[in-house]
Chain A
Amino acid sequence: MSKTYLDLSAVGMRFKTDKGFFEALVDVNLKIAKGEFISLIGHSGCGKSTVLNLVAGLTEATSGGIILDGREVDGPGPERSVVFQNHALLPWLSVYQNVELAVRQVMKDASKKEIEEKVRYYLSLVQMDHALDKKPHEISGGMKQRVGIARALSMSPKVLLMDEPFGALDALTRAHLQDSVMEIQAELNNTVIMITHDVDEAVLLSDRIVMMTNGPAATVGEILNIDLPRPRDRVELADNPHYHHLRQQVLSFLYEKHSKVTRLKTTKTTKSSAVA
Chain B
Amino acid sequence: MSALLNIKWQNMAFPFVGLLAFLFFWQIAASQVTTTLGSLPGPVATAQQFMGLVDEHEAEQDKKTAFYQRQEQRNADKLKADPDFKVTVRPYTGRPTFFDQITTSLITVATGFLVASLIAIPMGIILGLNQWMYQALNPVIQILKPISPLAWLPLVTMVVSAVYSSDNPLVAKSFINSAFTVTLCSLWPTLLNTTVGVANIDPDLKNVSRVLKLDPLTHVRKIVLPSAIPMIFTGLRLSLGVAWMVLIAAEMLAQNPGLGKFVWDEFQNGSAQSLARIMVAVVTIGIIGFMLDRGMLQLQKWFSWDKRSELR
Residues of A near any B CB (own CB < 8 A): 56, 58, 75-78, 80-82, 84, 86, 88, 90-93, 101-102, 105, 135, 137, 155
**Complex Cα spacing A91 to B304, Å:** 11
Q: Which residues of A contact B222 (CB under 8 A)?
A: 90, 93, 101
Which residues of chain B are within 8 angstroms of A81 by Cβ–Cβ distance? 211
30 contacts between A and B (CB under 8 A): A56-B211, A58-B207, A75-B210, A76-B207, A76-B211, A76-B213, A77-B211, A77-B213, A78-B213, A80-B211, A81-B211, A82-B208, A84-B208, A88-B202, A88-B204, A88-B207, A88-B208, A90-B208, A90-B223, A90-B226, A91-B306, A92-B226, A92-B306, A93-B222, A101-B212, A101-B222, A105-B212, A105-B213, A105-B214, A137-B308
Q: Which residues of chain B have a CB within 8 Å of any CB of chain A? A: 202, 204-205, 207-208, 210-214, 222-223, 226, 305-306, 308
A99 to B214: give the CA distance in the assembly, Å: 14
B1 to chain A, nearest CB (A): 28
Instruction: List the count of A-B residue pairs having beta carbons below 8 Å apart.
Output: 49
Q: Known contacts A84-B204, A88-B207, A88-B208; decide if A137 and B306 are in contact (CB<8 Å).
A: yes
Separation of A84 and B308 alpha carbons in the complex (Å): 24
User: Which chain B residues lie closer than 8 Å to A155 at the CB level?
Assistant: 212
Q: B210 to chain A: which residues have CB within 8 Å?
A: 58, 75-76
Dominant secondary structure of chain A at its interface with chain B: loop
Q: Is chain B's binding surface mostly helix, strand, loop or mixed?
A: helix
Quick check: A78 and B212 within 8 Å, CB to CB?
A: yes
What is the distance, in angstroms, from A156's C-beta to the closest C-beta of chain B? 13
Residues of B within 8 Å of A88, CB to CB, are: 202, 204-205, 207-208
B207 & A92 in contact (Cβ 8 Å cutoff) = no
Residues of A within 8 A of B211 (CB): 56, 58, 76-78, 80-82
Complex: chain B residue closest to A105, CB-CB:
B212
Rounded to whole angstroms, the CA-CA distance of A84 and B210 in the bound complex is: 13
Which B residues touch A58, using CB under 8 A? 207, 210-211
Given A81-B211, A84-B208, 5 more contacts at CB 8 Å? A58-B211, A75-B210, A76-B207, A84-B204, A88-B202
Tell me the minimal C-beta distance from B233 to chain A in angstroms.
14
Within the complex, the shortest CB–CB distance from B300 to chain A, in Å, comes to 14
User: How many whole Å from B85's CB to the nearest CB in chain A?
Assistant: 61
From known contacts A77-B213, A90-B222, A105-B213, infer whether A82 and B306 are also in contact, taking CB-CB under 8 Å.
Answer: no
